[in-house]
Amino acid sequence: MTTETLPTTTTPDPTAERAGGTAIQATPSTGGSERILGLACRNCGRIEPLGASYVCAACFGPLDVAYDLSKVRASVDRTTIAGRAPGIWRYLELLPVSAAPSRGLPVGSTPLLAADRIGAALGLDRLWIKDDTRNPTLSFKDRAVAVASARAVEFGITTLACASTGNLAGATAAAAAAIGLPAYVFIPADLEPAKIDHALAYGATVVPIEGTYDDVNRLCLEIADETGWGFVNINLRPFYAEGSKTLAFEIAESLGWRSPDVVVAPIASGAMFTKLARGFDQLVEVGLIERRPIRYVGGQAAGCAPVATAWDHGTEVVPVRNPDTFVRSLAIGSPADGSYAAEQARASGGSIEAIPDEVTAAAIRDVARLEGIYPETAGGVTLAAAAAARRRGVIRDGDEVVALLTGNGLKTPDARSLGIGSGRDGEERPGLTASIAPSFGAFEALLGERS
């Protein structure tokens, strides 16, 4: 199969610099900052001014950015977007900053790939893969951090920080380096070494915490209050979460300004999962796409599946105190947006699937072998969740499915081998032969042994 790539953009503007850390062409917005109304409580609807805040002062509900979508509708259309440079800032009017930043990394405009070989293996008739393994730090977290860091600069915040299960560590460190701010990254002490090294490479201070991600997050809440630092996924969370909407924007644009039948994504905190729906809904509200029903399918590791359990049993989300999975990027036992993610799956006719680690590893191997894309563990969960939803009947004959692969497998190199051994030679590592002498005769003998 020849893999088809649907570009998310038209020809790039040659004047826009796209190198990491260099100036990025600012995209003018006729809507201006008046299109941003403030922060609205998701529970009680109370509006408060923009600021480094994440919970409602009245009811302690989560805060979301509120927009005047009538102003956005009047200021942007498909032609305007098509004429802009690649990257998330082509959708500026639907993002919570007054203007595109003058510095930062070239984030977004990743390809949407036709994936009929892995699709057939999973039992799916029409599968697209949104390949976000190609962002600057090799994960979708670059989108969220780009928006949060741009807003941090507008607020005058001078230090970036995060609580991370892995990918966010590198994304925050790199974004801070690109805009010239110090970065502090707080992680569980058992995080994959490759992800720790990734954050260190960008000059961040990495602080391992003895405990789970939820322990890390609780400490970071206190540090944020005491220091005033900009924690991208805590006091900057309303802006950070908005970055995930750009996945929906790019999917719609890549499909010719329409939505698919099914979207499949991993669930950690649940923020990205819920913001996908918000993104498609906003495109409808501003007239960029027509409203069509979308079923949302989420995937979690079976060893840390509070949202999948709540969806399956029709109950509230009960935290998992001791996650037991090699999918560390999804191992959030008390997901902040878990209840909203479960409700979104229910309301849309979708599902949330709990995937055993061995099945995740097999899916990683399959998509790498069949499509030439090497995802990390969250990507294996996503593809396995698509197959599970198909078996359940949530995904139907002929459905057009978009699966999000949100991180690169180079960050979790040991995960691929789960279930096939860990030796260095022969059958324990399929494809790797025994060492041979540097002669054609030795190679001929090897071929004879394998025939």
- Distance (Å, whole) CA 11 – CA 108: 15
Burial of 114 from C-beta contacts in 10 A (0-12 / 13-18 / 19+): middle
Place of tokens 């038209």: 10
What are the backbone angles phi and psi of residue 361, rounded to the nearest 5°?
-60, -40
Q: Which long-range contacts (CB under 8 A, 24 or more apart) does 47-56 make?
A: 50/96, 51/155, 52/152, 52/155, 52/157, 52/228, 52/230, 52/235, 52/236, 53/235, 53/238, 54/234, 54/235, 54/236, 54/237, 54/238
Q: How many CB atoms lie within 10 A of CB 441?
A: 9
Residue 55's SS3 state is strand
21-67 pLDDT per residue, tens: 333 333 333 335 689 999 999 999 999 999 999 999 999 999 999 99
Q: What is the pLDDT of residue 247?
A: 98
DSSP assignment, residue 329?
A: G
Centroid of chain to Cα 285: 23
392-439 pLDDT per residue, tens: 999 999 999 999 999 999 988 888 777 665 433 334 567 788 898 999
CB 119 within 8 A of CB 366: no
- Distance (Å, whole) CA 55 – CA 69: 23
Which alpha helices (H) appear in 88-166, and where do they start and end? 116-122, 141-155
CB 239 within 8 A of CB 96: yes
Place of tokens 């509900």: 61
Per-residue tokens: 148: 């949060």
Q: pTM to 2 decimals?
A: 0.89
Which parts of the chain register pLDDT below 50? 1-31, 422-427
- Distance (Å, whole) CA 385 – CA 401: 12
Q: What is the pLDDT of residue 13?
A: 35
